[in-house]
Structure formats: structure tokens, C-alpha cells
């Protein structure tokens, strides 16, 4: 029965036994063997009392339904108990729910299931393999009331078999009952079928006979009849000889016993099946046999519901793909299915593990697959705004430079400080150009270019602006005290100061390049989203957010310092060079960068970080460059190109008269052209 349960794929069953040696011993043996074999768990073991109270079988069904997944019921019970269990199942409207596996007490009998065939459909039963003994039929069919008086139950059998009444002296006659004549014959006047256990009764008698014969030969060699040695024997000694016998039985099969005293089991396996869709017209069909090993024709089995699909009797349903079994403590056949969620995948039926860092789980979490790698591309919508600004800005800067070079000796160009103007315009052009490096595919050369030029353009621009504002401020302050010009205001000095300030950035970047050679990396954490399907690896340069800001930090320091000087120089007369435009430029630039910082760091945890931060940075750089270009050079270029009549030398005014400084160094004009 354990082999049948395992062959059907069941691992969670209940047992039901009639109180007494047969039922309780049978269940105990089933439980022990199933525990030794493994793979089968007992949900409940229920015992039916010898004298069940009213409603007892309803309680049995109710208890069985406490573990509804244990549909398989192993039943060791007498015929009456089997019948009443089936009746209770029908009353509970559970026809077809339970899957009965009956012992040989059920066998292929019709009495336990009479008028309950619909509840019994699908029941699998076993019956010891047996053969009809022809000699017994010949003997028994010749028995009559005259030649079988020694059997005290034969008369009762006669009445029941022929449905008549024997009249004996001292008993009253029942006129309504047919009287037995004594001439009836078994098999002629009634149906007859040999009881299936006749073979085993005959073999049992012969086993005792062979055991007594062996005992006599051992204890009384060469003697006839009982000898004194045999008179003192007891049942225990006889049992030893019985277990040692070996002979061919009445059916021609070997009769022997194992070390436990059991004869070799040979069973036929039956299933009660409906016929033509009707349970009432069905019958028991042989579906297999067992002799040390099971041979079960699973294809021949039929079930209520889907006739060909073996129903389940399992504590827990199989887990789906991407789920692991979380076992229930103390019940090895029961588990909960736990999804391998997030970035975990199913290794085996009990284990989930995380995918390697560069991989993500498959859709059903049964394995891992490479995580797609992305980067900011030229065609990305995120790249369009900064690239447009960079292209327009580069073209505008080139136009300004070309205009200044062509009109290099005109008053407007000279008054703007030609040398520092070209340095500043170079810085502005580099600021626009860095956008193309930020969008380009990361590699060693591109990453080196980003480190070098990201801060170089801004440093060059703000160094030039700082030098200009500092020069104006010093001239203005010196003019209040003396007509002697302050030192280091010549074009050469201004260039030296500007390049000295810029060299700090260059030296720092070179040291960084030497200490940590540039290279690209794939960052799988940046876009490691909650949903693995959205996870992406980001191809980028090996630069952290802080190192990127550090690259711009020196430029921001120059910008703040320049702003301070612009504030200090706000009292310079309007006609004095570029003090006020520089001031407006720095105020606007500060606002741009103050807006940049929270956006940049506020999106550090975003899945779109690479796009948002790169776009924010490049747009902020381009806007700051555009502010410088627009406020300092676009008006001058406009005058040079469209109003050349204004590009003439203005009459100089006395700086003393306006509380300003003395004349600027040779080669430059202090006041703007008309």
C-alpha cells in the first residue's frame, strides 16, 4: 500500500482503522514502513471505535477534512465500518473528494459499497493473490445435510444459501417461509463462488502438518507416534518449525515464511471504476499486482472528475518556477512556497541565491542573465538640450572671436582688454566643448579629457574675470589716494596672473591623472532598481559625484572670489570698462550654480541619475558660459558689426574730476567708445 501511494505521487495521506488487532496493526505497519521508505507523511491517524456512537462517522469525516489536502485515505477497517464511512462522506457532500486505498478486508467485495458506488469510484483495493482450488469445489459442492452433520454451522449456511427454513422438532413452523427439502444442491440450486481465502486455509493446515512432521523427525528419529521428547513441546517450539517449512502450496506456489513470520506477499490490485459514466453499473478492475515489487498500470486507472489525471494528495502543491520550498517544521512533506524575489534566482527547490552583481534574474527567476549596459548617447532625448546649447554657444563664441580678430585694433576691442578677452573667450569655448566629451562614449581618452577640460574652461574663464575685476578694483581704490597707478595692471601682468591661477587647476588634474589613471567602468548599482527588469548597467568614467564636483571646486572658488570683487567694484563709473557687466555676469552665474547643486545631488538615488546629472551639469556649464558671452561680448560684437559709427574713441575725461583713477596702462583705453 505504501508503494501504491508513492506510485501515485501522493505524499500526504491519512489513515483510518477499525479498533482491534487487524485495523490498528495494519495502520501501524503502514506508518512504520512509510516512515522508513520516506516521502510519505501521515496527516492524521483516526481509529473507529468497536461500538461507535451515533454521529461517530460524521465526526470521522469532519476530522479528515481538517487536513483537506490529505485526500488519500488508507483504510484498514471491517466491511460495516467501510460502508458507514462511505455513507458519512456522501452525507457531507464530499463524493469524489476522498481517494480511498483499502486493505484486503475491502478487497473486491461488493457488500461495503452496495448503493454507495458513486462514493467508491476510484477506490484502490488490494487482495491477496489467490487461485481457485478445484478439489475443494468438488468436495464442497457434494456436501449436504446428511453427509456434513459434523459442521454445526452448516445448517444455518444451508438456510441462508437456499433461502429456506429447516423444520426441526421443538420449533414452530413459519408458514410464510419456504421450507427446505434437504434435496437442494450447492451450485445447482444456488449460486456458488469459492471463497478467496480457501487456498490460504489449506496451505495453513499443511504448514502446521509439515512443521509437526519436521519436529517429529528431529525429536523422534526412527520412531512412530509421539515420543517423550515431543510430549513436552509447546507452541513456541512449534512456531519455530512452522517458520522453517518450505513446500509448494495447494495452488502450486511456494509456501514459506520470513524472519518475521510473514509469508511472501502476493497481491492483486483493483480499482472500482464506473462503466459508461454510471457508477452503479461499474465494477472492480484489475490494475496491477504486487510481489516484492509493485507493477501498477497507471494508464488503466480512472478517477472521478478527470478520468485520466491522477488527483493529488499532497500537503503542499508544487512550487512554481522561481519559488523555493520553505519547509514546515516537523512536517517534512509540507512547505510554503516563497518567491525568489528581487535579484534572487532559484538554485534548487529549497534555495534562492542572489545573482552576481553584473547580472539580473530571468523573468521567472530560474536563472541569471547579463544586465543590459546603457550610456548617454548622441540620440538620447537627454542629450538634445545640452548638445543644442553647446553647438549654438560654440558657433556664437567662434563668431565673437572672429569679429574681435578682424577688428582687433578698434577702440571697442582695445577697451575690452584684448589679451584677457581672448583668454576668456577660449575658456568659454572650452566650456561649450566639454558637453561633447560628456556625451561621448566613455573610454580612457574621453575620461582623461573630461577630467582635464571639465574644470579647465571654467577655471580659465573665471581666472580671467577675476583678474579683470581685481585690476579694476585696485585701479579704482588706488585712484582715491594717488594718481600713481597700482602695480601689475599691464597686459603681460594680467596674463601671468590669469595663467598662474589656471595652473593650479592644471597641476591638480595632472596629479590626479598620474595617481589614478582614467578608465571607464560599468556601474551596476546606479540603476539597480527594485524591479530587476528595469535594471541597467551604466557605462561611465570612473569618477564619483564628489570627484566631479571637486574638479569644479576650484572654479567655483574663483567664481565666488570674482563675485566678491564685482560687488566691491560696483561703484566704478558706468563708462569705466566692464565692471558692471562683469558684476551682472557673476550674479547670474552664482544663481545658475546654486540651482545646479540641489538638482545634481537631489537625483543621486534616481534610476535616471546618469542622464539627469549629466544633462544638468552640461546645461549649467553652457548657461554660465552663455551669460558671460552674452553680457560681456555680444553687445560689443553687435556694435562692431551693425553700428561701426559708435566704434570710435571717446574724449577722455579726467579721472580726478570723477573721483576715479588715473589713465590706464599704455596700449589700453580707460573709457568705452562712443
CATH number reported for the structural domain that contains residue 107 in this entry: 3.40.50.2300
> Distance (Å, rounded) from C-alpha 9 to C-alpha 402?
88
The verdict on 601 and 468 lying in the same domain is: yes
The verdict on 72 and 218 lying in the same domain is: no
Asked whether residue 136 is domain-assigned, the answer is no
Asked whether residue 305 is domain-assigned, the answer is no
Q: Is the pLDDT assigned to residue 302 strictly greater than 60?
A: yes
167-191: average pLDDT? 77
Of residues 661 and 64, more confidence is placed in: 64
DSSP β-bridge partners for residue 255: 247
SS (H, E, C) 269-324: EEEEEEECCEEEEEEEEEEEEEECEEEECHHHCCCCCCCCCCCCCCCCCCCCCCEE
The verdict on 431 and 547 lying in the same domain is: yes
449-471: average pLDDT? 89
The verdict on 576 and 531 lying in the same domain is: yes
Asked whether residue 656 is domain-assigned, the answer is no
Residue 17: per-residue pLDDT: 95
Which of 370, 399, 428 terminates a domain? The answer is 370
Q: Is the pLDDT assigned to residue 108 strictly greater than 80?
A: yes
The verdict on 238 and 338 lying in the same domain is: no
Q: Are 63 and 4 in contact (CB under 8 A)?
A: no
246-260: average pLDDT? 87
Cα dihedral sign for 216, 217, 219, 221? positive
Q: Which three cell numbers stand for residue 319?
A: 512550487
The verdict on 36 and 1 lying in the same domain is: yes
> Distance (Å, rounded) from C-alpha 636 to C-alpha 74?
102
CATH number reported for the structural domain that contains residue 364 in this entry: 2.10.50.30
Using CA atoms, how far residue 183 sits from 81, 138, 169, 311, in Å, is: 38, 18, 19, 54
> Distance (Å, rounded) from C-alpha 633 to C-alpha 494?
19
In terms of Cα–Cα distance, which of 302, 387, 372 is closest to 123?
A: 302
What pLDDT band is residue 658 in, cutting at 50, 70 and 90? Answer: very low
The verdict on 125 and 210 lying in the same domain is: no
Asked whether residue 637 is domain-assigned, the answer is yes
Asked whether residue 190 is domain-assigned, the answer is no
Q: Is the pLDDT assigned to residue 277 strictly greater than 50?
A: yes
> Distance (Å, rounded) from C-alpha 494 to C-alpha 499?
9
DSSP β-bridge partners for residue 47: 17
Parent domain of 118:
1-129+265-296
Residue found under cell 580659465: 460
- DSSP 3-state helix, strand, coil percentages of the chain (rounded to 5)? 45, 15, 40
The verdict on 116 and 222 lying in the same domain is: no
Residue 479: per-residue pLDDT: 64
Q: Are 424 and 400 in contact (CB under 8 A)?
A: no
CATH number reported for the structural domain that contains residue 414 in this entry: 1.20.1070.10
The verdict on 107 and 233 lying in the same domain is: no
Q: Are 242 and 211 in contact (CB under 8 A)?
A: yes
Asked whether residue 142 is domain-assigned, the answer is no
> Distance (Å, rounded) from C-alpha 543 to C-alpha 519?
9
The verdict on 109 and 226 lying in the same domain is: no
In terms of Cα–Cα distance, which of 230, 234, 255, 233 is closest to 244?
A: 255
Asked whether residue 169 is domain-assigned, the answer is no
Residue 550: per-residue pLDDT: 78
413-418: average pLDDT? 84
Asked whether residue 176 is domain-assigned, the answer is no
Residue found under cell 562712443: 674
The verdict on 211 and 73 lying in the same domain is: no
Domain count, the chain: 4
Q: Are 10 and 39 in contact (CB under 8 A)?
A: no
Residue 332: per-residue pLDDT: 82
For the chain, give the percent of residues with pLDDT over 70.
Answer: 92
> Distance (Å, rounded) from C-alpha 408 to C-alpha 307?
100
> Distance (Å, rounded) from C-alpha 428 to C-alpha 397?
7
322-342 confidence digits (pLDDT tens): 999 998 887 888 899 999 999
The verdict on 35 and 124 lying in the same domain is: yes
Q: Are 404 and 415 in contact (CB under 8 A)?
A: no
Q: Are 408 and 456 in contact (CB under 8 A)?
A: no
* pLDDT-wise least confident of 74-88, 269-283, 410-424, 572-586: 572-586
Amino acid at each position: 500500500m505504501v508503494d501504491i501511494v508513492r506510485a501515485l505521487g501522493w505524499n500526504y495521506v491519512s489513515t483510518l482503522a477499525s479498533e482491534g488487532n487487524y485495523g490498528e496493526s495494519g495502520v501501524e505497519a503502514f506508518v512504520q514502513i512509510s516512515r522508513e521508505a520516506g516521502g510519505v507523511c501521515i496527516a492524521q491517524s483516526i481509529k473507529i471505535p468497536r461500538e461507535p456512537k451515533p454521529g461517530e462517522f460524521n465526526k470521522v469525516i469532519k476530522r479528515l477534512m481538517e487536513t483537506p489536502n490529505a485526500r488519500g485515505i488508507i483504510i484498514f477497517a471491517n466491511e460495516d465500518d467501510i460502508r458507514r464511512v462511505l455513507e458519512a462522506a456522501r452525507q457531507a457532500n464530499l463524493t469524489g473528494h476522498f481517494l480511498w486505498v483499502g486493505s484486503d478486508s475491502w478487497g473486491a467485495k461488493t457488500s461495503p459499497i452496495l448503493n454507495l458506488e458513486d462514493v467508491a469510484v476510484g477506490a484502490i483495493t488490494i487482495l491477496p493473490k489467490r487461485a481457485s482450488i478445484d478439489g475443494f469445489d468438488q468436495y464442497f459442492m457434494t456436501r449436504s445435510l446428511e453427509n456434513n452433520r459434523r459442521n454445526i454451522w452448516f445448517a444455518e449456511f444451508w438456510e441462508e444459501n437456499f433461502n429456506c427454513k429447516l423444520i426441526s422438532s421443538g420449533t414452530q413452523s413459519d408458514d410464510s417461509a419456504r421450507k427446505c427439502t434437504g434435496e437442494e444442491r450447492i451450485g445447482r440450486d444456488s449460486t456458488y463462488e469459492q471463497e478467496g481465502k480457501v487456498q490460504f486455509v489449506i496451505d495453513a493446515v499443511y504448514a502446521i502438518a509439515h512443521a509437526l512432521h519436521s519436529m517429529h523427525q528431529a525429536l523422534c528419529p526412527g520412531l512412530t507416534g509421539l515420543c517423550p521428547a515431543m510430549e513436552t513441546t509447546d507452541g513456541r517450539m512449534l512456531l519455530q518449525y512452522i517458520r522453517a517449512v518450505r513446500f509448494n502450496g495447494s495452488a502450486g506456489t511456494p509456501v514459506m515464511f520470513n524472519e518475521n513470520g510473514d509469508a511472501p506477499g502476493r497481491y492483486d490490485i483493483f480499482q472500482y471504476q464506473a462503466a459508461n459514466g454510471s457508477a452503479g453499473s461499474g465494477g472492480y478492475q484489475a490494475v496491477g499486482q504486487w510481489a516484492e515489487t509493485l507493477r501498477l498500470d497507471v494508464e488503466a486507472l480512472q478517477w472521478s472528475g478527470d478520468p485520466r489525471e491522477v488527483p493529488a494528495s499532497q500537503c503542499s502543491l508544487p512550487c512554481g518556477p522561481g519559488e523555493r520550498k520553505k519547509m514546515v517544521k516537523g512536517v517534512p512533506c509540507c512547505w510554503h512556497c516563497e518567491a525568489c524575489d528581487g535579484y534572487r534566482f532559484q538554485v534548487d527547490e529549497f534555495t534562492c541565491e542572489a545573482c552576481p552583481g553584473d547580472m539580473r534574474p530571468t523573468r521567472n527567476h530560474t536563472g541569471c542573465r547579463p544586465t543590459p549596459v546603457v550610456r548617454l548617447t548622441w540620440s538620447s532625448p537627454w542629450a538634445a538640450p545640452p548638445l543644442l546649447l553647446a553647438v549654438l554657444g560654440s558657433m556664437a563664441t567662434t563668431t565673437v572671436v572672429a569679429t574681435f580678430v578682424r577688428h582687433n585694433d578698434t577702440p571697442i576691442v582695445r577697451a575690452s582688454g584684448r589679451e584677457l578677452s581672448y583668454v576668456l573667450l577660449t575658456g568659454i569655448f572650452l566650456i561649450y566643448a566639454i558637453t561633447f566629451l560628456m556625451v561621448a562614449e566613455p573610454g580612457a581618452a574621453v575620461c582623461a579629457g573630461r577630467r582635464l577640460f571639465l574644470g579647465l574652461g571654467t577655471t580659465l574663464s573665471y581666472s580671467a574675470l577675476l583678474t579683470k575685476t581685481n585690476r579694476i578694483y585696485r585701479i579704482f581704490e588706488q585712484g582715491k589716494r594717488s594718481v600713481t597707478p597700482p602695480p601689475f595692471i599691464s597686459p603681460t601682468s594680467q596674463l601671468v596672473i590669469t595663467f598662474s591661477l589656471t595652473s593650479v587647476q592644471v597641476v591638480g588634474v595632472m596629479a590626479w591623472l598620474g595617481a589614478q589613471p582614467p578608465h571607464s567602468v560599468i556601474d551596476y548599482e546606479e540603476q539597480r532598481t527594485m524591479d530587476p527588469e528595469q535594471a541597467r548597467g551604466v557605462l561611465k568614467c570612473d569618477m564619483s559625484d564628489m570627484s566631479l564636483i571637486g574638479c569644479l571646486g576650484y572654479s567655483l572658488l574663483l567664481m565666488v572670489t570674482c563675485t566678491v570683487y564685482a560687488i566691491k567694484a560696483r561703484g566704478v563709473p558706468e563708462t569705466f570698462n566692464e565692471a558692471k557687466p562683469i558684476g551682472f555676469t557673476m550674479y547670474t552665474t552664482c544663481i545658475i550654480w546654486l540651482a545646479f547643486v540641489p538638482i545634481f545631488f537631489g537625483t543621486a538615488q534616481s534610476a535616471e541619475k546618469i542622464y539627469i546629472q549629466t544633462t544638468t551639469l552640461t546645461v549649467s556649464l553652457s548657461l554660465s558660459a552663455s551669460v558671460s558671452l552674452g553680457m560681456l561680448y555680444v553687445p560689443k560684437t553687435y556694435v562692431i558689426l551693425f553700428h561701426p559709427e559708435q566704434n570710435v574713441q571717446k574724449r577722455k575725461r579726467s579721472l580726478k574730476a570723477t573721483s576715479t583713477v588715473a589713465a590706464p596702462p599704455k596700449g589700453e583705453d580707460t573709457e568705452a567708445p562712443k
